[in-house]
A and B are shown apart, each in its own frame.
Chain A
Amino acid sequence: MSVMILLVICSILVAGGFLVAFLFATKGGQYDDLGTPPVRMLFEDDVAKSNDNQ
């Protein structure tokens, strides 16, 4: 059963890593503006083409 203990601890550590990443991203302001980035990603070098495809 000791392998279970190892697994549980590992899984929580991995999840904890993601939590820390999320906390850093939030503190760094990644979630401050949820409106502009979805618009900005449309502007690749070739804007005209990406729009024509629609």
Chain B
Amino acid sequence: MCDYYAVDAGPGVSQRGTRRDPSVYEMLDISAVAAEFTDYSSGTRTRVRLTLPGMHCASCVWLLEQLQQFDRGILSSRVDLIRRTIEVEYDNSMTSLKAVAILLSSLGYEPLLNREGTERQRDADQREATRRIYLRLGVAGFAAGNIMMISVARYLANGNNIDLSLERLFATLSIALSVPVYFYSAAPWLRSALISVRRGVVSLDVPVALGISTLFIRSIIDLVSGRSEGFLDSFAGLVFFLLIGKLFQQKAFEAVSFDRTVRSFFPLSVRRERRGREDVVPIDAIHTGDVMIVRNGEVIPADSVLMSDAGYVDYAFVTGESVPVECTSGSMIFAGGKVVGTALRLTATRPVSQSYLASLWERTSSRTPRTSYGKLSDRFGLWFTIGTLMTAIVGAGLWLPDVTLAMNVFTSVLIIACPCALTLATPITLGTAMGVLGRYGIYVKNVGVLLELKRVNTIVFDKTGTLATPLPDAVYTGRPLDALEQKAVRAIASNSAHPVSQSIASTTAPFESIECISERIGKGILGRYAGYEVAIGSWQYMNEVCSKVEVEETCDTFVSIDGTVVGAYKMRSCIHPDVASMISSLREEKITTKLVTGDTDRDAEMLSSIFPSSDMTFRAIPSEKVGSVDRLRNAGATVLMVGDGLNDISAMAAADVSIAVTNGTSTLAPASDVVMPADRLRDLPCLLGYSNDLGRVISASLWFTMAYNIAGLALALSGLLTPVLTAIMMPVSSLLVIGISVFGARILSQRFA
């Protein structure tokens, strides 16, 4: 095992504070829950697949594939570093899924136990889609290469007669090779064109399918009648390039999986208390009136009423509010909150599926979709098809009454006007860009989003979490503390789960030599460290533990040492560094910035240096956020909503583009068009600029192919388009477009560095 550190420099993640109570894995003993993770199970062997978000390097792969050395019951383990999954096969009689999960967690790779970790159908679908593209690509590449080889011989013969039997063999072989290309490799375009025509829409796939079909059918007619060598080499090459474009797109899609449902955030199971017994049940088994026990760090799956005396619930994911809420007995607790500190006893008031969280989500998904990239391409497809057909008909008409030549011109126009470069330029440029952005932690949902971003002229920010740092800073005022006293205060504070204590203690590791800790939940904490008796808490609490309190009553958190109040901590959220400069550089680009937040106006003063007061709205409930986004859009603005909580989700859906900001990779982000880490927010102007540049790269390739095609059209209309000319023109234009797209997107991304 000593080789672990030799595999990769700087492996591993800190284990401090990550260890979870092993009882959370008890649910894996329920067969219904375990089945969610099981790929295959026979009497003696079981193969499971788990998602481990923590794996990140070569050493992780090495360690995780040595699992059989830790547990003899494990037969094999195999890691997929890209998808962050591990497949473990084990012997049922010697170990269990629960034991495997506990082992992984003890190694520092905590398996995802919520729905998100079990979405294997989506994974399997994606893998299947990629496989199919590879297969099509293989067939098309094989055919293209061989037909080209045959064709070259005939091009070189150039009028001199080749042996007749050889000629016939060449024709038969090219046809035989191209049939699978047409019916198998090119199937996606043909099918999509058929579907869109049947629906009464003309997508860009229609002229592509038209061009491919004309190319194929005319070549076969030419070859059979012996009139010319046919265009089958160009045809197979074209399909090959089109498939490369599709592969780019698919790879980019795979890197980011975005289709989440509200269920994927929930745990798979919960502890239920019934007739004095606690047992773990799947969340669907929770009915109104059931008593649940939810522990520190667990997510509450259903709306409920608090039975315990008091506790803290972190609604960061639901509301975006960074400070956990203090709840007292009898208060309403909403699903999606995370328990902080002591475990809570809750009585469910509604089943899981009817929670406030689920309703927020549904309201979002029922909204009508926006004008999308797809629609744009449809409109363009219609225009393009009509134009091509008109040119072809007019061109053919000019050559009448020579029917053969007219048909020749008609088909040549359809061939040369096939918008293959068009279908390549957009997915390849944007697919490359998605890959590049992914390297900086910025994940884009689909290629259309990047095009949408460049139209943005108004940005609406939600403050909490987006602009502010996750934990508020505790600012100390009072008698200066010496180093040992400071250490004592932090040590005591680190023993309390109260958010204020946590932010006082945040910078230091756990201490050991603490004596006599007593805590009154929500009031304060008292303890001894290195000879000091330290109390931290509210003004009332100070009155209880100190003999004499000489300070005025405020809402701050007071600190006393050896019975004397020495000072107080004020809570203040901190604006992300760089935010001010980011906002001002957005202003330079003439982009309007607004702030709409559900928070109280306690930070208004601090924010006023960044936003004029007319642009700030405080205490906005989710529907008001939607209202302000709608108002801006009705006034003609293209709105980008930047948010982080689930309460922003309807506003994010209402906006033209949405960005979700996350703190740390494991944080859940609500569904949105773009996900970026908080420390990358300063790159927002860069991102907008980049999307502008990408638009320019795409139009550059389009103008280039336009010019190229017009030259080709001139040849086609004059009836001079020969197979050998096409065989040269088509791949050259495709390769140039791929080159422009890839290099353009890469070189321009340097602004992020």
Contact = CB atoms under 8 A, between A and B. Distances in A.
B81 A32 contact: no
B82 A23 contact: no
A45 B3 CA distance: 10
Given A27-B131, A51-B6, A4 B166 contact: yes
A36 B611 CA distance: 47
B173 A39 contact: no
Given A40-B61, A47-B7, A51-B6, A5 B80 contact: no
Given A26-B135, A26-B138, A48-B3, A36 B169 contact: no
Interface stretch (B105-113, B142-150, B464-472, B731-739): B142-150
A40 B135 contact: no
Interface residues of A, number: 31
B80 A33 contact: yes
Contacts of A27: 131, 135
User: Which secondary structure dominates chain A's binding surface?
Assistant: helix
B541 interface: no
5 contacts: A8-B170, A19-B138, A36-B61, A40-B61, A43-B62
Given A16-B142, A23-B138, 15 more contacts: A1-B163, A8-B173, A12-B146, A12-B177, A18-B142, A19-B138, A27-B135, A29-B127, A32-B131, A35-B80, A35-B82, A43-B7, A43-B61, A47-B6, A48-B6
B139 A26 contact: no
Interface string A3-27: 0110011011001101100110011
Which of B3, B83, B130, B173 is most buried by chain A, counting CB atoms within 10 A of its CB?
B3
Contacts of B173: 8, 12
B169 A39 contact: no
Contacts of A42: 7, 58
Contact of B165 (A5, A19, A22): A5
B79 interface: yes
**Chain B residues touching A, range:** 20 to 34
A29 B79 CA distance: 14
Contacts, number: 77
B166 A5 contact: yes
Given A36-B61, A39-B58, A48-B3, A22 B138 contact: yes
Interface in B141-195: 142, 145-146, 149-150, 163, 165-166, 169-170, 173, 177
User: Which secondary structure dominates chain B's binding surface?
Assistant: helix
Contacts of B7: 42-43, 47, 51
Contacts of A40: 61, 65
A33 B83 CA distance: 9
Contacts of B61: 36, 39-40, 43
A15 B145 contact: yes
B62 A36 contact: no
Contacts of B3: 47-48
Nearest to B128: A32
Contacts of A2: 165
Given A8-B150, A39-B58, A43-B7, A34 B138 contact: no
A26 B128 CA distance: 10
A1 B80 CA distance: 53
Contacts of A35: 80-82
B134 interface: yes
A36 B134 contact: no
B130 to A, nearest CB: 7
Contacts of B142: 15-16, 18-19
A22 B134 CA distance: 9
A29 B83 CA distance: 15
A16 to B, nearest CB: 8
Given A1-B166, A5-B166, A33-B80, A47 B62 contact: yes
